[in-house]
Structure 1
Amino acid sequence: MDWKEVLRRRLATPNTCPNKKKSEQELKDEEMDLFTKYYSEWKGGRKNTNEFYKTIPRFYYRLPAEDEVLLQKLREESRAVFLQRKSRELLDNEELQNLWFLLDKHQTPPMIGEEAMINYENFLKVGEKAGAKCKQFFTAKVFAKLLHTDSYGRISIMQFFNYVMRKVWLHQTRIGLSLYDVAGQGYLRESDLENYILELIPTLPQLDGLEKSFYSFYVCTAVRKFFFFLDPLRTGQYLNLDKDHNGMLSKEELSRYGTATMTNVFLDRVFQECLTYDGEMDYKTYLDFVLALENRKEPAALQYIFKLLDIENKGYLNVFSLNYFFRAIQELMKIHGQDPVSFQDVKDEIFDMVKPKDPLKISLQDLINSNQGDTVTTILIDLNGFWTYENREALVANDSENSAELDDT
């Protein structure tokens, strides 16, 4: 019995000497004595607690230090053996062929066109004959996942086989990637992923014509794209922008990116916030920049641009920050002989598009939720983007006229 329950019952027992009244202090002393007694008895009954804890398996092992060479080698060898065992658990080509033979043998008529089908009863029969490695695929959950509109309650044999194939390929890829996890921590660092892609290039038919001198550019581009979308791909343009051929981009060189109509105010913010070296941008930083601009509908890209627009680092855009960037658009319009548009009108349009929770502040989440983040950011940083937005109705009408002319011909 819990000591607390014992104490509660003892204190609830009626006084056996009703004629003798106890003082308040005596009652408190008695309560404390009982508490001490029963707690000590309860504690004494758990003398083997430490022994009990020792039966829990050890679940944490510290990583070996750099100078513990033997421990490091042991850990690497253990990981290699583990991955080999996981690889052997996957279906090989012969086993996949045998699975296809069994599925085809147990198909359930009638066929739907040329599509062979199988019902749940035969599905389970194949599972029993296919072997232990296939057991994970022959479950009610998998069958229900692939069951669609068949009036006989069957699934497509081809769809099921493709499902198995995709699972096998997925695990094969996972094991292959794990081999490049040098630190053995369950994730790939940038250098690990670079090594993986570099060794993958010779196996990709699409890259047969790629000169080895461009391998490093391809690897860097691919890795940056992975890292950007998981927390651009214009190598030729990068080389063209780099006029002094020092492998870096200055603000003046970057200003020629795209249609060369980004505002200096925005470019200043890029070089203020992004990692640079002596005021110049390296290729990896450039890739992040291009990925953000070319994928402005994506949350990751909007987060990148929002940080640049949030000049006061307040976590939101207000009228001041919007005006700060749009003034640069107005100046470019004057330079190009265009009549400047009123900021007040643009500001109202932006807030109407975004419909933020706070009518005076636009948060990153507001931009994402509005599905207008790409439009808002474009009209604040790029004259060509703003001009396209401002003349969108005329451009649509012109496209319609051109389409009508083509139809007439």
Structure 2
Amino acid sequence: MDWIQKLKKYNEKKEEGRGRLSESEIRTEETEQFSKIYNECKGPVKTTHQSYNSIPRFYYKLPAEDEVLLQKLREESRAVFLQRRSRELLDNDELQNLWFLLDKHHTPPLVGEDQMINYEDFLKVAEEAGPKCKPFFTATVFSKLLQIDPYGRISIMQFFNYVMRKVWLHQTRIGLSLYDVAGQGYLKESDLENYILELIPTLPQLDGLEKSFYSFYVCTAVRKFFFFLDPMRTGKIKIQDILACSFLDDLLELRDEDLPKDAQDSNWFSAPSALRVYGQYLNLDKDHNGMLSKEELSRYGTGTLTDVFLERVFQECLTYDGEMDYKTYLDFVLALENRKEPQALQYVFKLLDVQSRGYLNVFALNFFFRAIQEQMKVHGQEPVSFADVKDEIFDMVKPMDPLKITLQDLINSGQGETVTSILIDLNGFWTYENREVLVAEANSEEPQEQEV
């Protein structure tokens, strides 16, 4: 008799004697009987296969904060491991030797000034280059770099640049991993701050920075990484995400002593850029208390952001006694200066979603555009009809739902910067309304080609 049949039989007996027992007694008896019947019927315990005993340990619990020796041991073992990985990388002498071998075994004829190499000569270089170079000399790498060449060759320069880039990525990953205190493949804000602070002396373009400004520079640099790579505000970013984005390239570009001025101006991490952002913050801080009130922030940019939008900024963003600190201000600046990027649109969308519904409806659009209409009246302009603006916005975005605009709709449309400008900034709306005139004026200012 299986255990299900036994339970059925027990239930039949239980129904006969239900009137004699209380509910609590019945529940206790049911539990006891079930355990008894189940243990009788489940049979002998199956023996564990012998191979299970040889499974290697794959989980190691991180040491607690009070386990100082274990923490120290873990840090030292990670440092030794990273040092070993660093020694496995090609150094400058080995890279020079690799270039010499590639040049020696190049496969004629030349294509312009670019030397080429076929697969047979490629393998000859692999034999002479040494074990450290072996991972680069594979059929997969060769096929990736293979272009339209009648002799089936690849460019020596492209291959060497590929090797250089790989070595640089591994070196940078090891360098970042040294600051990964948790050893889990990500950096917290304090970890990245330490990395950038110790990087400053190696960047010639930052030689002119005063040491008193270092903390503000580090804060300015770190915020860009976290604003774009940690949009969910978890307080940590993966090292592989840092390597995959272009921000580290921009930062390390400051090693170039002859970096052009226009490149410095467009680089968020340059000294002129950091001083510009911090200088703007100081200029807005009229009472010199180190924080910005809503009234002080209203003078940001052209001073045409609407009061309704600024009110939402102070409702949703982290403030201290109703005032904004420099770190929160940096998020604000990064959002408004990069409104073509999804992370910036996410920041602004949260402010526009005044009902916290996850989408913008006609009410939300009207809520913000009324402030634009009020500003137009103040400046003596004839207010534009909201109905016309609403229709234009929906035509630009083309949302999946004709009555709702989601963040994804805004991103997919490629019109996020224009839509947000229309709703939060009088100057942005004026630029949109007069776009045809502005384009015509710009074209008329271009130098005309002389007729021959």
TM-score range, shorter chain: 0.7 to 0.9
Change in 2 beyond 3 A, CA 1:407/1:360: farther
- Once residues 62 and 401 of structure 1 are traced to their aligned partners in structure 2, the CA distance between those partners, rounded to angstroms, is 69
For 1:19-168, list aligned pairs within 5 A.
46-49=46-49, 51-168=50-167
- Once residues 408 and 349 of structure 2 are traced to their aligned partners in structure 1, the CA distance between those partners, rounded to angstroms, is 10
Give 1:401 shift.
2.3
Deviations 1:170-206 (Å, cap 9, x if unpaired)?
Answer: 1001000111111222111000000100110111011
- Once residues 205 and 190 of structure 1 are traced to their aligned partners in structure 2, the CA distance between those partners, rounded to angstroms, is 24
CA RMSD, Structure 1 to Structure 2 (Å): 2.0
- Once residues 143 and 111 of structure 2 are traced to their aligned partners in structure 1, the CA distance between those partners, rounded to angstroms, is 19
Q: Aligned with 1:317: secondary structure?
A: coil
For 1:252-401, list aligned pairs within 5 A.
252-401=295-444
Give 1:250 shift.
0.8
Change in 2 beyond 3 A, CA 1:118/1:270: same
Aligned to 2:169: 170
- Once residues 322 and 404 of structure 1 are traced to their aligned partners in structure 2, the CA distance between those partners, rounded to angstroms, is 41
- Once residues 114 and 407 of structure 1 are traced to their aligned partners in structure 2, the CA distance between those partners, rounded to angstroms, is 37
Give 1:211 shift.
1.4
Give 1:403 shift.
2.5
Q: Which has the larger radius of gyration?
A: 1
- Once residues 400 and 201 of structure 2 are traced to their aligned partners in structure 1, the CA distance between those partners, rounded to angstroms, is 52
Aligned to 1:27: none
- Once residues 129 and 328 of structure 1 are traced to their aligned partners in structure 2, the CA distance between those partners, rounded to angstroms, is 72
Deviations 1:300-320 (Å, cap 9, x if unpaired)?
Answer: 000000000000000000000
Aligned to 1:24: none
- Once residues 326 and 292 of structure 2 are traced to their aligned partners in structure 1, the CA distance between those partners, rounded to angstroms, is 8
- Once residues 53 and 303 of structure 2 are traced to their aligned partners in structure 1, the CA distance between those partners, rounded to angstroms, is 69
Deviations 1:337-371 (Å, cap 9, x if unpaired)?
Answer: 11100000000000000010100000000001100
- Once residues 150 and 79 of structure 2 are traced to their aligned partners in structure 1, the CA distance between those partners, rounded to angstroms, is 48
- Once residues 39 and 336 of structure 1 are traced to their aligned partners in structure 2, the CA distance between those partners, rounded to angstroms, is 85
TM-score by length of 2: 0.79
Give 1:288 shift.
0.6
Give 1:208 shift.
1.4
Matched AA of 2:69:
L
Deviations 1:347-400 (Å, cap 9, x if unpaired)?
Answer: 000000001010000000000110001100000000000000001111112222
Aligned to 1:222: 221
Matched AA of 2:404:
K
TM-score by length of 1: 0.87
- Once residues 375 and 393 of structure 2 are traced to their aligned partners in structure 1, the CA distance between those partners, rounded to angstroms, is 20
Q: 2:277 matched to 1:240?
A: no
Matched AA of 1:68:
E
Matched positions, count: 370
Aligned to 1:23: none
Q: Aligned with 2:54: secondary structure?
A: coil
Most deviating of 85-94 and 378-387: 85-94
- Once residues 188 and 341 of structure 2 are traced to their aligned partners in structure 1, the CA distance between those partners, rounded to angstroms, is 23
Change in 2 beyond 3 A, CA 1:48/1:241: same
Q: Aligned with 1:188: secondary structure?
A: strand
Aligned to 1:9: none
Matched AA of 1:218:
Y
Matched AA of 1:133:
K
Query: What residue ranges of structure 2 are gaps of 5+ in the alignment?
Result: 1-38, 231-267, 269-273
- Once residues 134 and 273 of structure 1 are traced to their aligned partners in structure 2, the CA distance between those partners, rounded to angstroms, is 53
Deviations 1:43-78 (Å, cap 9, x if unpaired)?
Answer: 67x5243x5322100111111112211111111111
Aligned to 2:34: none
Most deviating of 398-407 and 70-79: 398-407
- Once residues 310 and 449 of structure 2 are traced to their aligned partners in structure 1, the CA distance between those partners, rounded to angstroms, is 41
- Once residues 42 and 61 of structure 2 are traced to their aligned partners in structure 1, the CA distance between those partners, rounded to angstroms, is 38
Give 1:100 shift.
1.1
Give 1:39 shift.
8.7
Change in 2 beyond 3 A, CA 1:407/1:372: farther
- Once residues 448 and 138 of structure 2 are traced to their aligned partners in structure 1, the CA distance between those partners, rounded to angstroms, is 59
After the TM superposition, list the runs of 4 or more consecutive aligned residues in structure 1 that deviate by more than 4 angstroms. 404-408
Matched AA of 1:71:
L
Q: 2:187 matched to 1:188?
A: yes
Matched AA of 1:103:
L
- Once residues 69 and 245 of structure 1 are traced to their aligned partners in structure 2, the CA distance between those partners, rounded to angstroms, is 43
Q: Aligned with 1:180: secondary structure?
A: coil
Most deviating of 231-240 and 102-111: 231-240
- Once residues 163 and 63 of structure 1 are traced to their aligned partners in structure 2, the CA distance between those partners, rounded to angstroms, is 37
Q: Percent identity?
A: 81
- Once residues 384 and 107 of structure 1 are traced to their aligned partners in structure 2, the CA distance between those partners, rounded to angstroms, is 60
